[in-house]
Structure formats: structure tokens, C-alpha cells
């Protein structure tokens, strides 16, 4: 098996968290193992230390990867690491064991320090008292919601935004206790779970308000009313607002906790349409107050408006992609953001091909000279888009190697003819920094004729996300 260079580099990690569908959410923290999924049945070998929440930390990571509750491997031998042995080291790390179990040397490193830095930069643009609702929907924009949310929580984010009920429950199970807003609404059957997990929910139209109000309630359900100010997607149009307010007045079990809307193009230099949206939102707020309601949380600004338009901040903002180091196209530009994710794979094989040799499906690339082609352990099933075929690039030894041929489901090929030192097992960076060179998410998006949001959120579930750095900083 090729050497696992990615695992070898983990000796300087303060914290390694893993968001992986096979193993749940686990991590090695200050040389201790933590299982965040709440299943204590496997926790036998206690270190006797405590995590930040006061709960005892167990050697659950090793047991999750191999062995049973008695601390033995499946052949009856002792586990290779004993209590007190550093779990993150150059010679034997949990990530190495995980990658070996998965059989693929591909993972995404999530930089906790960069995440904190980006949030701190954004805060410099906000007035005192303006809350931050950090949007962590779509698995934290592909970064791993249960990895990034605790970092943002510790860094001072006051609220969290998710798309679905399930995403909200996932955050609660990961230990997030601050308010969570489900942005895309819910149905009557969801009310028990919304109450059980203390989730707030968006109301998108009068029928949804009536449907939610007809559920059985143990206590009031906090709702945020969404106004459609020009997206023509979801939300209440201005002429529909009186009927919705009437439904809310007749439903005291629905607690009117917030009013919000969403910009359609706040990242454009021309502000005419976003100014129009802001005017409609202010009109909606006046109608709400005239009807006798005073929702305590008013939010409109997304990443772009959070950075560049203080008149849209009200008392809460909803940044998303800017937290992950992707700058919206606004003026002034948010220079200094740090990309949070670094996607890496490794070279599985290197082939020497003659001129005139076709590469991959459909023969969309044919070598023009004697060439060396390296095969990487990543493909479109991992979220490395097929649209990058013959136009993308990766970093190997700090130099760009162009993608050649059609990207396959599990594999990709790159031309390394001009990087003669390339060997099997070498690291390839799909996006991120290597040896001073960088491939940015925005570049990848342009290559595949898409947007940064899609590039990030399409990163597949079989790519482990590994958190680099401590949760608390």
C-alpha cells in the first residue's frame, strides 16, 4: 500500500476531529480520544481526564477503528496504543488507521484557526450588539458541520443556521446548545422533534403557519417569519403578510421570535436591486410592528451584506461562505480571509506513455509528447467534478499538474511530465496550499463553470473531514 504521507504530517495537530459516515464523529484531543455521537457503550478504557464540557474522555476512537469493548483487537491481542500514548504522532496516528480502514488516502483538512480568523475579521465590520448567526447548512458548506460548529461556537457565534430538521438535530447531538434556526421551514409532524431539540423554525407562508399551529404543543414553538423581497423562492410576499400575521395572532403557541429575508445579489457593485429589497423588508417590518408584534431578532444580511452594508445588519447577520474563507465580490474586498479547507489525495500509480496515447474514457485527451501521467485516488463520486476534465489542475511538489482525460468515478489523471521527481504515494492537493503555491476554491469553480458554493457542498461523504487545530483556540 502507498505510504500515507497525509497521516505522517499530523504530528503537529493539537486536535484531530473526523466527520465520517462509517465511524460517526470522533476525534483525538490533547492526546485523548473523544466520541461525540453520544454512544458510551463502547467506552471502557478511561483516561481519567475531562473534556471541555466536563465529561470523562474515553479511548473510544481506537475501539471504534478496531477492537472491542475489552480493549482487544479482533485476534485477541492488545490494542496497539495504550492509555497515555499520544494518539496523534508521526508513527501511529488514528487518521492512519482510519485511512487504512477506508482503503483510500484521500481526505479534507479543516483549519480551525482559519475559521476563527475569518469570524474575527467579520466581527470588525459589525456594530456592538449585532449577533452572528453562522450558517452551517449542507454539512457546514461541505466542511463537516459537526467539526466547524463547535469551533464557531467557542469563537463566539451566537446562533446557527441549518437547512433541515435533521441538520439541526445533528448539531444538538454534537453538543451545540446555542439557538439553531431551521431555514427552510417544517411540517406539523416535525413539531415534536423541533420542541424536543429546542430548534427554531422558519415560517414561509400562511398555510405553513396554520399547519404548525394545529400540532400538539408542550410549550411555545419559536418561529422566524421569512419575507420574500425579491428572490421569488420561498417566503411571504408583502401583500400576503396581513393573512400570515392574522394566523400568527390566532396561534399563541407560535412564538414570533424573528423576521428575516434574503438578498438576491448583494455581492454586485450595482446596489439598485438590493436597495429595493431592503426597502421592502423595512416596509414588512413596519407592518409587523403596526400589527402589534415586536420580533426580537431581525436579520437580512448574508456574507456579502454582512461585510459591506452595515445598514442591512439590524440586530443579527447570517454569514455563510465568508466564514469558510471564500470572499464575496464586494467593495471593499475582504482581503485577508483564510481558506478553511484543504483537499488532498495521493498518487496511486505513475505511467510512462508515448506520444499519441489516449487517456481515460472517451479519449478526450491524447498525449502530444512522451508523457508521465499520475493517477490520483479521487473522482467525481468524491465530489471532484467531471467538469474539471482537461481543464483543472492539482498541486504536486508545489507545482501545478494539469488534469488530463475524463475524470472517473473514483480516479483522476494528471500530467506530471514536467515534475520529474514525482513518485507513487506523493501528496496531491486538489485545493489548498502546498509548498507556497495555492489553488483556490474560486479557481476550481471557474474551471468547472460553477460557483464556490457548489464546489464545497458537493464534496462527497466518503471523503473524511479532519479538523486541524483545537476547538477553543
pLDDT tens digits for range 164-215: 999 999 999 999 999 999 999 999 999 999 999 999 999 999 999 999 999 9
User: Annotated catalytic residue: which of 29, 107, 131, 137?
Assistant: 137
pLDDT score of 24: 41
pLDDT at 334 over 80: yes
- Cα separation of 371 and 361, whole Å? 18
Q: Regarding the domain delimited by 341-439, which CATH topology (the fold level of the hierarchy) does it fall under? A: Lyase, Ornithine Decarboxylase; Chain A, domain 1 (2.40.37)
Q: Any idea which of 6-20, 232-246, 444-458 has the lowest mean pLDDT?
A: 6-20
Q: Any idea which of 64-68, 156-160, 226-230 has the lowest mean pLDDT?
A: 64-68
pLDDT score of 269: 59
Residues 303, 321 contacting (CB under 8 angstroms): yes
pLDDT score of 473: 75
pLDDT at 124 over 90: yes
Q: Regarding the domain delimited by 113-324, which CATH topology (the fold level of the hierarchy) does it fall under? A: TIM Barrel (3.20.20)
Question: Is 137 a catalytic site residue?
Answer: yes
pLDDT at 419 over 60: yes
DSSP assignment string, 283-305: HHHHHHHHTT---SEEE---HHH
* C-alpha cell of residue 147: 467539526
Q: What is the mean pLDDT of residues 127-144?
A: 97
* CATH 3.20.20.10 domain span(s) along the chain: 113-324
Which has the higher per-residue pLDDT, 81 or 147? 147
* CATH 2.40.37.10 domain span(s) along the chain: 341-439
pLDDT at 381 over 70: yes
Q: Any idea which of 12-16, 36-40, 316-320, 409-413 has the lowest mean pLDDT?
A: 36-40
Orientation of helix 145-154 relative to helix 112-123, angle to 10°: 50
pLDDT score of 35: 31
Q: What is the mean pLDDT of residues 109-113?
A: 93
What are the DSSP E strand ranges found in 4-129?
Answer: 15-20, 24-29, 32-35, 46-50, 56-58, 107-111
- Cα separation of 434 and 84, whole Å? 33
User: Is residue 358 within a helix (H) or strand (E), and if so which, with residue range?
Assistant: strand 358-359
pLDDT score of 246: 93
Question: Is 141 a catalytic site residue?
Answer: no
Model pLDDT for residues 69-107, shown as the tens digit of each residue: 223 333 333 333 333 333 333 333 444 544 544 557 899
Which has the higher per-residue pLDDT, 103 or 16? 103
pLDDT at 293 over 70: yes
What is the band of 363 on the pLDDT scale with cuts at 50, 70, 90? very high
pLDDT score of 384: 98
User: Residue 467: which of 178, 113, 136, 120 has the closest Cα?
Assistant: 113
How many other CB atoms are found less than 10 A from the CB of residue 127? 8
Q: What is the mean pLDDT of residues 278-296?
A: 97
- Average pLDDT of the chain is 82
User: Annotated catalytic residue: which of 218, 351, 361, 449?
Assistant: 361
pTM for the full predicted model: 0.82
- Cα separation of 167 and 116, whole Å? 22
What is the band of 472 on the pLDDT scale with cuts at 50, 70, 90? confident
Amino acid at each position: 500500500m502507498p505510504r500515507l504521507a497525509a497521516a505522517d504530517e499530523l504530528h503537529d495537530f493539537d486536535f484531530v476531529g473526523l466527520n465520517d459516515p462509517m465511524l460517526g464523529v470522533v476525534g483525538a484531543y490533547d492526546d485523548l480520544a473523544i466520541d461525540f455521537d453520544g454512544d458510551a457503550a463502547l467506552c471502557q478504557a478511561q483516561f481519567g481526564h475531562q473534556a471541555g464540557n466536563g465529561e470523562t474522555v474515553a479511548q473510544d476512537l481506537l475501539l471504534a477503528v478496531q477492537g472491542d469493548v475489552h480493549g482487544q483487537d479482533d485476534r485477541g491481542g492488545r490494542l496497539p496504543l495504550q492509555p497515555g500514548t499520544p494518539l496523534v504522532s508521526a508513527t501511529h496516528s488514528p487518521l492512519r488507521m482510519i485511512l487504512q480502514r477506508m482503503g483510500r488516502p484521500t481526505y479534507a483538512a479543516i483549519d480551525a484557526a482559519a475559521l476563527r480568523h475569518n469570524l474575527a475579521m467579520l466581527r470588525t465590520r459589525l456594530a456592538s450588539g449585532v449577533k452572528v448567526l453562522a450558517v452551517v447548512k449542507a454539512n457546514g458548506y461541505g466542511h463537516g458541520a459537526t467539526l466547524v460548529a463547535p469551533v464557531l461556537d467557542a469563537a463566539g457565534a451566537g446562533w446557527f443556521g441549518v437547512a433541515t430538521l435533521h441538520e439541526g438535530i445533528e448539531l444538538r447531538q454534537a453538543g451545540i446548545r446555542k439557538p439553531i434556526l431551521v431555514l427552510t421551514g417544517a411540517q406539523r409532524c416535525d413539531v415534536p422533534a423541533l420542541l424536543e431539540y429546542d430548534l427554531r423554525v422558519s415560517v414561509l407562508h400562511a398555510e405553513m403557519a396554520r399547519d404548525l399551529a394545529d400540532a400538539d404543543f408542550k410549550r411555545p414553538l419559536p418561529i422566524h417569519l421569512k419575507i420574500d423581497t425579491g428572490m421569488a423562492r420561498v417566503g411571504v410576499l408583502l401583500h400576503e403578510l396581513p393573512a400570515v400575521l392574522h394566523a400568527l395572532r390566532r396561534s399563541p403557541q407560535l412564538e414570533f421570535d424573528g423576521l428575516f429575508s434574503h438578498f438576491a445579489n448583494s455581492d454586485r457593485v450595482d446596489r439598485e436591486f438590493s436597495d429595493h429589497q431592503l426597502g421592502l423588508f423595512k416596509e414588512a417590518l413596519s407592518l409587523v410592528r403596526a400589527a402589534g408584534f415586536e420580533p426580537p431578532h431581525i436579520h437580512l444580511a448574508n456574507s456579502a451584506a454582512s461585510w459591506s452594508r452595515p445598514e442591512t445588519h439590524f440586530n443579527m447577520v447570517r454569514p455563510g461562505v465568508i466564514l469558510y474563507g471564500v470572499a464575496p465580490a464586494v467593495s471593499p474586498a475582504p482581503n485577508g480571509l483564510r481558506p478553511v479547507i484543504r483537499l488532498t489525495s495521493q498518487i496511486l500509480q505513475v505511467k510512462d506513455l508515448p506520444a499519441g496515447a489516449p487517456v481515460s474514457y472517451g479519449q478526450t485527451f491524447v498525449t502530444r509528447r512522451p508523457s508521465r501521467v499520475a493517477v490520483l485516488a479521487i473522482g467525481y463520486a468524491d465530489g471532484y467534478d467531471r467538469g474539471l476534465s482537461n481543464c483543472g489542475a492539482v498541486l504536486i511538489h508545489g507545482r501545478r499538474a494539469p488534469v488530463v482525460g475524463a475524470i472517473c468515478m473514483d480516479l483522476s489523471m494528471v500530467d506530471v511530465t514536467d515534475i520529474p521527481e514525482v513518485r507513487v504515494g506523493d501528496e496531491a492537493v486538489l485545493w489548498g496550499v502546498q509548498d507556497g503555491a495555492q489553488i483556490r476554491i474560486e479557481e476550481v469553480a471557474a474551471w468547472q463553470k460553477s460557483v464556490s458554493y457548489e464546489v464545497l457542498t458537493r464534496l462527497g461523504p466518503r471523503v473524511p473531514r479532519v479538523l486541524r487545530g483545537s476547538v477553543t483556540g
